[in-house]
């Protein structure tokens, strides 16, 4: 069995030996993307496994092993990890955990330390925790974010965003119920096979798979009875995670609307761009700034190709990152990047301008940064666009689901009323 080694700061290192023996548990956040990210990790030799549990015990474990002041996303992720470890599906002496560390001014930078504290409290402090970060915050000899892994993750995000965008535009209108879900299951298998290929990283293969995803969705038969569109924005975890937002996407689709969720990739571009912005304004390594700027331009080049194909296939294309950023002008400064920063406001403006003035702004209870750039901007947006119909919803492990549902239902009934009166 791999010997435990420690870093200078006392944390347990994830070693090369552990890479061969240990299962790396990945918490679920975005169901359209994380399966693909796990396939990408497996293709790099990690025994990665996605945690999918979402029962009450998990919430209970999170509350038990973290404190009341901590953000809801941290509590749920910690709960999911502890719950999985306690259920002993794996030998807990051969398991490691991976968690993102943003490195920004928000509390998300410290989730990893809170997780280690929780493991200690649960008498499992020997479980190594890997930090997934782009800024070299914590290093592990057995886990390196090499260009090849970055490239594979890029593909995973691109595929995930494409599938998510198309499903939302087709599922409410499909003639044969379940067609989208069946196709998604097939595509999941194709993406897994894509990563198992000897040469997954060729532009041609990535492009062909992306094009085939779009073409196969285009072939699904639909009947277009127009419906109001409802956007979901907010703090990244509660925006995408069904566990964090009490299955908001499903709730809204059951109410009969078309859901619009902005692409996950924009958050990553926003993070790179924010770092480049800080270096320019406050100083820092110029080389890093140029690398980040190149990365944003390179990723956008590939995304633009996909967006064009989506548009040519008769679907609504997501807006470019540059355009999204420009939308925030006059509303909020682009130097605001604690939490989701200007991105959250810009996404709401984009939705309003593109036919989805009905918006659920999801916020973890007590999340100050996103209350400022989300809830705090609603009045300004309403003054600018009177047709906007935005409801801020706080998500908390002890919040009343009925209360959340009542407010969402009220927003949806306003959406239907406005939609009907617009159509005359």
Q: How far apart are the first and last CA of the chain?
A: 71
Q: Least Å distance between CB 238 and ligand SF4? A: 8
Pairing state between β 229-234 and 358-364: parallel
Indicate the residue among 106 and 352 with the shorter CB distance to ligand SF4.
106
Positions that interact with ligand SF4 (CB under 6 A): 71, 73, 106-108, 235, 339, 364, 367-370
Indicate the residue among 72 and 356 with the shorter CB distance to ligand SF4.
72
Q: Least Å distance between CB 103 and ligand SF4? A: 12
Report d(CA 325, CA 79) in Å as an integer. 35
Q: Least Å distance between CB 77 and ligand SF4? A: 11
Indicate the residue among 80 and 165 with the shorter CB distance to ligand SF4.
80
Contact 381, 348 (CB under 8 A): yes
Pairing state between β 95-100 and 23-27: parallel
Hey, which residues does 230 pair with through a beta bridge?
259, 358
The closest of 316, 326, 300 to 260, measured between CA atoms, is 316
Q: Least Å distance between CB 110 and ligand SF4? A: 8
Indicate the residue among 111 and 272 with the shorter CB distance to ligand SF4.
111
Indicate the residue among 291 and 368 with the shorter CB distance to ligand SF4.
368
Q: Please give the backbone phi and psi of residue 326, each rounded to the nearest 5 degrees, phi first.
A: -70, -25
Residue in the block written with tokens 């989730």? 111
Q: Least Å distance between CB 343 and ligand SF4? A: 11
Cβ partners under 8 Å of residue 149, min gap 6: 40, 41, 44
Indicate the residue among 58 and 180 with the shorter CB distance to ligand SF4.
58
Report d(CA 183, CA 201) in Å as an integer. 24
Report d(CA 414, CA 187) in Å as an integer. 36
Report d(CA 279, CA 273) in Å as an integer. 10
Q: Least Å distance between CB 323 and ligand SF4? A: 24
Indicate the residue among 220 and 343 with the shorter CB distance to ligand SF4.
343
């Amino acid at each position: 069995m791999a010997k435990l080694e420690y870093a200078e700061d006392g944390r347990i290192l994830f070693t090369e030996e552990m890479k061969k023996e240990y299962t790396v548990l990945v918490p679920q956040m975005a169901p359209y993307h994380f399966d693909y990210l796990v396939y990408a990790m497996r293709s790099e030799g990690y025994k990665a496994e996605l945690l999918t549990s979402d029962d009450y015990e998990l919430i209970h474990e999170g509350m038990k092993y973290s404190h009341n002041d901590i953000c809801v996303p941290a509590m749920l992720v910690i709960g999911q990890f502890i719950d999985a470890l306690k259920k002993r599906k794996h030998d807990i002496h051969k398991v490691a955990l991976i968690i993102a560390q943003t490195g920004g001014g928000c509390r998300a930078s410290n989730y990893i330390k809170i997780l280690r504290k929780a493991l200690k409290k649960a008498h499992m402090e020997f479980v190594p925790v890997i930090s997934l970060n782009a800024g070299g915050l914590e290093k592990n000899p057995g886990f390196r974010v090499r260009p090849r892994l970055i490239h594979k993750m890029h593909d995973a995000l691109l595929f995930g965003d494409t599938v998510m965008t198309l499903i939302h535009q087709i599922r409410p209108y499909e003639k044969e119920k379940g067609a989208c879900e069946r196709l998604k299951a097939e595509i999941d298998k194709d993406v897994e096979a894509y990563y198992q290929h000897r040469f997954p990283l060729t532009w041609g293969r990535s492009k062909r798979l992306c094009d085939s995803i779009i073409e196969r969705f285009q072939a699904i038969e639909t009947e277009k009875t127009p419906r109001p569109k409802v956007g979901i924005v907010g703090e990244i975890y509660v925006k995408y995670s069904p566990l964090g937002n009490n299955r908001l996407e499903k709730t809204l689709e059951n109410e009969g609307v078309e859901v619009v969720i902005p692409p996950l990739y924009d958050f990553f571009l926003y993070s790179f761009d924010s770092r480049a912005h800080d270096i320019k304004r406050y100083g820092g390594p110029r080389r890093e700034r140029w690398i980040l700027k190149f990365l944003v331009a390179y990723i956008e080049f590939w995304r633009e190709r996909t967006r064009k194909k989506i548009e040519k296939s008769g679907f609504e294309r997501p807006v470019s990152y540059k355009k999204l950023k420009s939308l925030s002008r006059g509303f909020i400064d682009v130097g605001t990047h604690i939490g989701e920063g200007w991105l959250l406001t810009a996404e709401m403006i984009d939705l309003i301008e593109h036919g989805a003035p009905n918006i659920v702004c999801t916020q973890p209870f007590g999340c100050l940064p996103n209350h400022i750039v989300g809830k705090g901007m609603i009045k300004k947006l309403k003054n600018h666009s009177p047709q906007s119909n935005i409801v801020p919803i706080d998500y908390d492990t002890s919040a009343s689901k009925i209360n959340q549902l009542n407010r969402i239902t009220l927003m949806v009934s306003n959406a239907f009323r406005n939609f009907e009166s617009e159509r005359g």
